[in-house]
């Protein structure tokens, strides 16, 4: 399952990407925002999406203006590996090497067409499972466990 969410700055792009997902017959669920509200806050959507991704072992797409805030908030959730990607090549590397489970996109700095290409790369790329990449991800998991509240 693919989960998608956005704050007010990413809202319009989210609605367009949902149409793209429907055309591609991807199964997805929209976790908000359900309407444009210029006063909403991206961390609320990031935490909800990330907790859902972890609970359901899914993948997430999170949008905000720069994509940076979405990425920062997402990476505060233990078990999430979020990446802000601005090109398809970067999305492929983030999936292949880092096995990101949340893709963060910029609605302000990347065009709809480019974001669709980035999303396609993210959804169609598998983790390499190479020993060095598994080792690095395990180092992150070990650090998360050692610093837990």
Q: What is the CATH number of the domain that holds 79?
A: 3.40.1400.10
Structure tokens at 89: 């090549």
Q: With cut-offs at 50, 70 and 90, classify the pLDDT of residue 149.
A: low
Counted domains in the chain: 1
Neighbours of 37 (CB within 10 A): 12
Over residues 91-143, the pLDDT tens digits come to 999 999 999 999 999 999 999 999 999 999 999 999 999 999 999 999 999 99
Print the domain residue range for 96.
2-146
With H, G, I as helix, E, B as strand and everything else as coil, classify residue 59.
strand
Q: With cut-offs at 50, 70 and 90, classify the pLDDT of residue 148.
A: low
Q: With cut-offs at 50, 70 and 90, classify the pLDDT of residue 58.
A: very high
d(CA 83, CA 72): 9
Give Cα 43 to chain centroid, integer Å: 13
Which of 76, 74, 130 shows the shortest CA–CA distance to 103? 74
**Mean pLDDT calculated for residue range 61-77:** 97
């Amino acid at each position: 399952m693919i989960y998608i969410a956005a704050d007010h700055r990413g809202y319009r792009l989210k609605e367009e990407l949902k149409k793209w997902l429907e055309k591609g017959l991807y199964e997805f669920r929209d976790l908000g925002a359900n309407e444009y509200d210029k006063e909403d806050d991206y961390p609320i959507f990031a935490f909800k999406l990330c907790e859902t991704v972890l609970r359901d072992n899914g993948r997430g797409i999170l949008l905000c203006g720069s994509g940076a805030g979405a990425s920062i908030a997402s990476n505060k959730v233990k078990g999430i590996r979020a990446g802000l990607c601005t090109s398809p090549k970067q999305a492929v590397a983030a999936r292949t090497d880092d096995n990101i489970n949340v893709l963060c996109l910029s609605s302000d700095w990347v065009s709809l067409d480019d974001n669709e290409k980035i999303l396609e790369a993210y959804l169609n790329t598998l983790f390499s499972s190479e020993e060095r990449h598994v080792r690095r991800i395990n180092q992150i998991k070990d650090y998360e466990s050692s610093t837990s509240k």
